[in-house]
Amino acid sequence: MHTMTHESKEPPKPRRHAVTLHDIAKAAGVSVATASFVANGKRDVRLTDETRERVQRVIDELGYRPNAMAKNLVSGGSKFIGLVADAIATTPFAGQIIHGAQDEAWKHGYVLLVANTEGNEPAEREAITMMLEHQVRGILYSTWFHRAADVPEALRETDFVMVNCFSPSLDSRAVVPDEVQGGRTATDMLLAEGHRRVAFINTTAIAPARVGRLEGYQAALAAAGIDFDPALVLDAQPDQEGGFDAVESILRLGVNAVFCHNDRVAMGLYDGLRARGLAIPDDIAIVGFDNQEVISAHLRPPLSTVQLPHYELGAAGVRMLLGIDEAAPDELRRIACPPVARQSTSAPRPVQP
């Protein structure tokens, strides 16, 4: 009889370097493309029998196993998914939509055709036409901030999913951030520190983020048994200047906790509070929104915030397009915005011995 321990009784498996197409190509003296053609049994490529046999021999000898993703990628030929973006590739942090869509597309054997249109309508039409000509499986239509967006006519000639946007008539499948849950999460991070009077610097921009985050803020207060006081909600330009200029109003309210519409507003508020000698979070606790790493992780103190789920929006869009996630033809799916706790809501307290 033997006892189970943390360490396995089995002899350690020899650690094998996974054989790659590159190894095959090198050993057979052919290109990686040729190795790939043979490994994937492509008959429509001109190769001599001698070459095919030599490569196949190396494949058998080295024991090459194409990994699932690679096999999907190379065996399918031109299996494309289109991604039309108004400015994602050129916008800080929204590029994660591309990243998420690409990872999910590859996993299922599709290659992403990305077109960044900068919101230019003719460019958008031509991009969609190009994608239709490449017989894409479907198109993700995405915007760099969450908003209603008219569906271009040409898009209706193929399967499509709206990503980070939705049709005003709500007649199309869409994946968007859950602004209500996000606003509630941000507010909860302040309520959890014992604050009862929490100001909300909302944005002046008319967008789903404005309505949704306010609704979330109200829901969090209601759940905590706190009456909603409209005087605690301000509107400001959604950038550093807006946050800076809101300082007087915030101080006049006499609150010790502020939920900012986004990280940039929080950054401006930091500057304004410091200019008046106030400390974060001891005098005023702050929560942002977006999780723009390059800003929020590097403020003094690092900013607690709520993350826009860009990667997941892209991935979920692909899953919905391919039918992996089932969805009604007019499905509007909301993706959760998780909290990112840093140091702007509570100061680390010294431990008393």
For residue 71, give the amino acid letter: K
Query: In terms of C-beta distances under 8 Å and separation of at least 24 residues, what long-range contacts does 87-90 make, across chains too?
Result: 87/116, 87/118, 87/119, 87/143, 87/144, 88/116, 88/142, 88/143, 88/144, 89/114, 89/116, 90/116, 90/118
Rg of the Cα atoms in the chain: 26
Q: Under the criterion CB under 8 A, does residue 237 sit at the interface with a copy of itself?
A: no
Residues 309-348: x/- map of binding to a copy of itself (CB under 8 A)? ----------------------------------------
By beta-carbon proximity to a copy of itself, the closer residue of 21 and 180 is 21
Buried b (16+ CB within 10 A) or exposed e, 288-318: bbbbbeebbeebebebbbbbbbbbbbbbbbb
By beta-carbon proximity to a copy of itself, the closer residue of 111 and 332 is 111
Q: Under the criterion CB under 8 A, does residue 134 sit at the interface with a copy of itself?
A: yes
Query: In terms of C-beta distances under 8 Å and separation of at least 24 residues, what long-range contacts does 148-151 make, across chains too?
Result: 148/208
Q: Under the criterion CB under 8 A, does residue 278 sit at the interface with a copy of itself?
A: no
Q: How far is the CB of 229 from a copy of itself (least distance, A)?
A: 30
Q: Under the criterion CB under 8 A, does residue 65 sit at the interface with a copy of itself?
A: no
By beta-carbon proximity to a copy of itself, the closer residue of 154 and 198 is 154
Q: Under the criterion CB under 8 A, does residue 22 sit at the interface with a copy of itself?
A: yes
Q: Alpha carbon of 55 to those of 46, 163, 293: distances in Å?
A: 14, 43, 47
Residue ranges binding a copy of itself (CB under 8 A): 18, 20-22, 25-26, 31-33, 36-37, 67, 69-70, 73-74, 77-78, 88-93, 95-96, 98-99, 102, 111-116, 118, 122, 125-126, 128-130, 132-134, 153-154, 157, 239-241, 244, 264, 267-268, 271, 274-275, 292-295, 298-300
